[in-house]
Chains A and B, each alone.
Chain A
Amino acid sequence: EDQVTQSPEALRLQEGESSSLNCSYTVSGLRGLFWYRQDPGKGPEFLFTLYSAGEEKEKERLKATLTKKESFLHITAPKPEDSATYLCAVQAVGSSNTGKLIFGQGTTLQVKP
């Protein structure tokens, strides 16, 4: 069964304290791995798509990496405005004609000034 697990569930950082969020996945053929950011009371906002092991993508203080079993979202020198829930999702090869995603539970990040 296709599955996505994110860890930790919650993470508290001081401003400037770098860390990483983990997304482990089990899927019958990966077509793509997606990272979203979700602010309280809002819908998820797209951040990155990764397609193959070794691929990396960056946006401001965020960098996403991908291996054959997991993805990391590295946050460098975070600021309070980076506080949000970060969601990971995968699309299996078998879902290429439907676009269906399987989501993890999310990691809630709090960055204190």
Chain B
Amino acid sequence: NAGVTQTPKFRILKIGQSMTLQCTQDMNHNYMYWYRQDPGMGLKLIYYSVGAGITDKGEVPNGYNVSRSTTEDFPLRLELAAPSQTSVYFCASGGSSETQYFGPGTRLLVL
């Protein structure tokens, strides 16, 4: 099992550009999550999904969108990138045991 995979590993965006961060899990988990991590700020929940076709906002959803068309994939869309979205983004998945398993992260720089 690969677990949770994320692409790309690193990306530089110009202000106003858009991009999609990809996340795939092969553990057949129903729950999936997107977090951002800023220095000294811990992990903040952006969006989450409890199953295919079901998504909901987390703590910091502004400027982001998600979709969940399959159990495996949970892409995060950034529209009109802003410098405030410079961060490290982590995708996680979880099953009935409540434990969340994280991907390796995507480092995003918006200039």
A44-B102 contact in complex given A9-B40, A100-B48, A106-B42, C-beta closer than 8 Å: yes
Interface size on B, residues (CB 8 A): 25
* Shortest distance between the CB of A93 and any CB in chain B (Å): 12
* A-B contact number at CB 8 A: 58
Residue from the list B40, B101, B104 in contact with A46, Cβ < 8 A? B101
When chains A and B are docked, how far (Å) is the Cα of A31 from the Cα of B58? Answer: 19
Chain A, interface size: which category?
Answer: 20 to 34
- CB-defined contacts of B50 to chain A, threshold 8 Å: 97-99
A-B contact pairs, 15 of them (CB 8 A): A43-B4, A43-B104, A44-B102, A45-B102, A87-B42, A89-B43, A99-B33, A99-B98, A100-B45, A100-B58, A101-B100, A103-B35, A103-B42, A105-B41, A105-B42
- CB-defined contacts of A43 to chain B, threshold 8 Å: 4, 90, 92, 102-105
Nearest to A44 among chain B residues (CB) is B102
Contact A105 B40 (CB under 8 A): yes
